[in-house]
Amino acid sequence: MNQNHPPIIGIVSGIGPLAGSDILAKLFKNAATYYGAIEDHEYPDVILLNHGIKGVDNTATLSDDFEKNIVNMSTTLENYGANIIGIACNTAHLYLDKINFQQDTKLVNLIDIVAIEASKKQHRYLLLTSTTSKDNKLYHRYLKKHGVNFAETDCKQQRLLDHTIELVMAHKLESAGKVIQKVLDYAKNNGFTAVIAACTELPIAIDSCDSLFGLEVINSNDVLSKELLKIYYDQLLAG
């Protein structure tokens, strides 16, 4: 790391905004829990850039504007000084190879680290994503690479997930929790032992559920926050 450039975490948010704020909250919580942060200077420096993108709905439909804004927000964060960058949207990782950073800037691949986290335990996972992530098989290559046993949702469960995402985007969290509760019930009753919450709205909805039915949840927001912190504190120590 360039000693004249201390680590700064950047979060691309706005797809939708609650996902970014959830990851930010988890960053600070996990900094205290795992790195002993108490006083202000012990917490990471963070820049969150929130910009709503027209045309990106609850199914996360791909478009030129979606790609352009993801790339622009990422490079803007780097221009602001962020050198450890995470994107608070799983589907947006379909554009990962379009983002070009300077050599010292680290862009976290959320899909890869979620797959690695899932591989740590021998579960039968139900993969929960946006429709666009599902249609583009965003997670398939990574989950197979890391030997994760998973299955996709059927059409009925996918409609429930898309509705859940829409409710979170509208900040109707109690309602979102009730809808995704049905998906978790389906998972439990169909032999799954865990779920991968592979859309950054879904962990927020799951937090509003009454019961997880004993299912383990791979929370993509929590996974991203921990990876950003690991890189941050490793660089801080190395600097």
Domains, the chain: 9-109+222-238 (3.40.50.1860), 112-220 (3.40.50.1860)
Question: Alpha-carbon distance 52 to 138, whole Å?
Answer: 22
Q: What type of residue is 73?
A: M
> How many angstroms separate the Cα of 123 from the Cα of each of 39, 67, 128, 195, 219?
39, 34, 15, 9, 15
| Integer Cα distance of 235 and 227 in angstroms | 12
User: CA–CA distance from 82 to each of 55, 76, 147 (Å)?
Assistant: 27, 9, 33
Under a CB-based contact definition with an 8 Å cutoff, are residues 40 and 234 in contact?
A: no
**What's the first-to-final CA gap in the chain, in angstroms?**
7
What was the pLDDT predicted at 40? 96
Rounded Cα distance, 42 and 96, in Å: 31
Q: Mean pLDDT by 10-residue block, N- to C-terminus, for the chain (239 residues)?
A: 76 90 97 98 97 68 86 95 96 93 93 98 97 96 98 97 95 97 97 97 96 95 98 93
Question: pLDDT at position 158, please?
Answer: 97
The secondary element (H helix, E strand) that includes residue 196 is strand 194-197
pLDDT of residue 112: 98
Torsion angle in degrees (nearest 10) through CA of 68, 70, 72, 76: 180
Q: What is residue 59's predicted lDDT score, i.e. its pLDDT?
A: 65
Strands 106-107 and 84-87: parallel
Reduced to 3 DSSP states, what percent helix, strand and coil does the chain have, rounded to the nearest 5? 50, 15, 35
Q: Count the Cβ atoms, other than its own, within 10 Å of residue 155.
A: 7
pLDDT at site 1: 42
Which among 77, 53, 51 is positioned nearest to 64, based on CA atoms? 53
Distance CA 34, CA 233 (A): 11
Q: In 3D, which of 143, 125, 107, 101 has the Cα closest to residue 197?
A: 125
Is the bond preceding residue 16 a cis peptide, omega within 30 degrees?
Answer: yes
Q: Do residues 11 and 48 lie in contact, with contact meaning Cβ atoms separated by under 8 Å?
A: yes
Angle at CA 170, nearest 5°, toward 168 and 171? 60
